Amino acid sequence: MQKYYWDTSIWLDLFENRDEPNFPKGEYATKLLNKIIKDNAKIIYSDLTITELEEAGYSFSEIQERLSQIKPLLIFIESNDKEAGKAKDIALKREIPRGDALHAMLARNNHAKLITFDNHFKKLRDMTIPFTPREIISN
């Protein structure tokens, strides 16, 4: 079974149908979700995802309500102190946000494809290969 780990920005693209001129990120997120449903795949999300969505202005109950609509597709994981510590070290060495390092580590540790548009993840290609929603949809 294929598993995907979505960077928090992809969740925001889906929730808010975020689009930019000539860059329909919300549409890509929706098409990716539909592909995952069709393929009987799973989406992994983490405690970090929930924290970042809260930081973006969503209440815990709003997040749970939105996720409940696709609950059969989801796998929840929690990061541990060891992963958080390693992510902090990697982030400092590579000058990227700690959260991005932890997302990449969680994707790798859970054998999931990391989905993101964020260029910071290019600095973590030795840990996991990042894919955009567009790349997954077109396969």
Quick one: pLDDT at residue 53? 98
Q: pLDDT below 50 — which residues of the chain?
A: none
Domain ranges of the chain: 3-137
Quick one: pLDDT at residue 139? 73
Distance CA 46, CA 79 (A): 7
The phi and psi torsions of 131 (rounded to 5 degrees) equal -125, 145
Quick one: pLDDT at residue 77? 97
Q: Which CATH number fits domain 3-137: 3.40.50.1010, 3.20.20.70, 2.60.40.10, 3.40.710.10?
A: 3.40.50.1010
* Residue 100: Cβ within 10 Å count: 25
- Could you identify the residue written with the tokens 């920005």? 9
Quick one: pLDDT at residue 20? 87
Residues 16-29 have pLDDT tens digits of: 999 888 899 999 99
Strands (E) located in 9-129: 42-46, 74-77, 113-115
User: Residue 113 forms beta bridges with which residues?
Assistant: 4
Question: 13 CB contacts (<8 Å, ≥6 apart)?
Answer: 25, 26, 28, 29, 133
What pTM, to 2 d.p., does this model score?
Answer: 0.93
